[in-house]
Amino acid sequence: MNKTMKDRRILVLIICLFSAFLISVAFAFKSGKFFYSFSSCSAAEVITAAQENPRFYIRADGTTMVDGKPFFPFGFYQASWKSAEDNPIDHIREIAAGGFNIVHASAIKLDKYEKFLDEANRLGVYVISRPDFSILTLVNAFKHKPAVLGWNLADDVDNGKRTPEQVLKSHAQVKAADPNHVTYVTGYTNQIGSFANCCDILAIQTYPVREGKPDLGSTYSMVSIAHNAAVKYNKAVYVNVQAFDWATAKLDKYKNARPPTAEEVRNMTYQAILAGAKGIIYYSYHYRGYGGWHLPDNPELWEGMKSLVPEIKQLSPMLLDGSLTKINTRTRDIFAGIWELKGQALAAVINTSYDRPQEVTIALPAGLQSAQPMFPNRPAGMFVKDGKLFGLIKPLEVHIYKLEK
């Protein structure tokens, strides 16, 4: 390494550490460990302090790790604090009672947010936090709170208002101040991959339901774009699946919009997982602004989403540690894949069409003799013959099978 390169690394390190306050400098030198990350976000090298055993981190396959164990985040945005009608503590209690394990929330006032984080911890719900003030102020105030999973660096990160270099700088500052938690950004365009190495968690929004019969299969496409970018850097991909009504935007172009049905949400959820999602944070349980939205005011959708919780819990070991093989069905609107783990196998088959039932044939790993539906009262009917999974998939159906020898 030449002297110029050494000087350059030292300069970048000093800038990152001083911007993260003196306490971060003390921690970094005490730890005595540093790692070098070469980012697609910038030609520059970024050096951040590393903690030997962080409580929260992203495994090389994109899985979120909590206290050394794999974790599948499954929950909601709680996206408003400013209205007198909002009661986020009541909301998180309802979310926890539904069996969900994570909330993305906004911090407006430090004292109120501390109470919120304490209640989240009592309920066993982790929190990704977004501040309405300096991110480092939030980090340094609450990085000791056990409910904290991570910090949101940027919403709509790919809207053209931020450069990857700016987000990368924020990531470096936050990681220097708090290497024990993860960073998160979310976006909505096919340019999301530009930010893949600017954070620990790259989240992609999929909100295709407006009116009529939308392109529901765009969920799989968008998540695949994010996943293909993130996997290059061993980052996690979360998905913000639509659980709101575009009509609340009060814009003429959305005046005929409708909320998604429970069937559409289930379809998008499994598309996201099959495309590589390692966490789902629905948007949204609640928000104010425009006309506002409160999910329980739509009881059929709310009950349908709560019914997904036991499914995800049952599937989580396979989703977190299994090996996924995506299947090219060569059939329009049909997505499929097989997970394998310790001699067990699981198949998912999804039809994203609103009006086309499809006959599907999928080749299986050797030795599998039968397909048992995983969940009662869910679509089923496929069977195994001659080493292949056969059957009819009706519009919008999601089939999940345990494959057996």
**For residue range 315-359, what is the model confidence (pLDDT) as tens digits?**
999 999 999 999 999 998 999 999 999 999 999 999 999 999 999
β-sheet bridge partners, residue 147: none
The first and second tokens of residue 27, run together, are 């921690």
More confident residue, 16 or 376: 376
Whether the Cβ atoms of residue 344 and residue 333 lie closer than 8 Å to each other? no
Q: To 5 degrees, how large is the angle CA 329–CA 367–CA 337?
A: 25
pLDDT score for 314: 98
The proportion of the chain whose per-residue pLDDT surpasses 70, expressed as a percent, equals 85
Q: Is the pTM of this model over 0.75?
A: yes
The proportion of the chain whose per-residue pLDDT surpasses 90, expressed as a percent, equals 80
Q: To 5 degrees, how large is the angle CA 59–CA 227–CA 16?
A: 60
Give the model confidence (pLDDT) of 278-304 as tens digits.
999 999 999 876 678 999 999 999 999
Rounded Cα gap, residues 286 and 306, in angstroms: 15
Q: DSSP string covering 183-230, please?
A: EEEEE-STTGGGGTTSSSEEEEEE---SSSS--TTHHHHHHHHHHHHH
**Burial degree of 177 (CB within 10 A; 0-12, 13-18, 19+):** buried
pLDDT score for 290: 66
Q: Provide the total of helices (H) and of strands (E) in the chain, helices listed first.
A: 10, 22
Residue 281 to residues 102, 184, 203, 259, 305, Cα–Cα distance (Å): 8, 12, 9, 17, 12
Give the model confidence (pLDDT) of 105-117 as tens digits.
999 889 889 999 9
The first and second tokens of residue 146, run together, are 């056990």
More confident residue, 48 or 166: 166
Neighbouring CB atoms inside 10 A of 332's CB total 11
More confident residue, 23 or 302: 302
Q: Which of these, 402, 376, 378, 379, lies nearest to 389 by C-alpha position?
A: 402
Ramachandran class of 68: left when φ > 0, alpha when ψ lies in -120 to 50, beta otherwise: left
pLDDT score for 320: 97
Whether the Cβ atoms of residue 93 and residue 119 lie closer than 8 Å to each other? yes
Give the model confidence (pLDDT) of 220-273 as tens digits.
999 999 999 999 999 999 999 999 999 998 889 999 999 999 999 999 999 999
The first and second tokens of residue 227, run together, are 């996943």
pLDDT over 50 at 311, yes or no: yes
Residue with tokens 């998939």: 393
Q: Which of these, 104, 189, 188, 200, lies nearest to 147 by C-alpha position?
A: 104
Mean pLDDT (whole number) for 148-167:
97
Mean pLDDT (whole number) for 60-85:
87
HSE-up of 123 (CA within 13 Å, CB side)? 25
The first and second tokens of residue 111, run together, are 């004292």
Q: Which of these, 122, 86, 126, lies nearest to 104 by C-alpha position?
A: 126
pLDDT score for 258: 97
Average pLDDT taken over every residue of the chain:
89
What 55-61 contacts at long range (C-beta under 8 Å, 24+ apart), as own/partner pairs, is 55/180, 55/181, 56/149, 56/150, 56/180, 56/181, 56/182, 57/182, 57/200, 58/182, 58/200, 58/201, 58/234, 58/235, 58/236, 59/234, 60/234, 61/234
Q: DSSP string covering 309-359, please?
A: HHHHHHHHHHHHHSEEEEE---STTEEEEEEEETTEEEEEEEE--SS--EE
Give the model confidence (pLDDT) of 354-391 as tens digits.
999 999 999 999 999 999 999 999 999 999 999 999 99
pLDDT score for 108: 87
Q: What domains are defined for the chain?
A: 3-49 (no CATH), 56-320 (3.20.20.80), 323-404 (2.60.40.1180)
**34 confidence band (pLDDT: 50, 70, 90):** very low
What are the φ/ψ torsions at residue 102 (nearest 5 degrees)?
A: -150, 150
Whether the Cβ atoms of residue 313 and residue 307 lie closer than 8 Å to each other? no
pLDDT over 90 at 86, yes or no: no
pLDDT score for 250: 87
pLDDT over 80 at 308, yes or no: yes
pLDDT over 60 at 9, yes or no: no
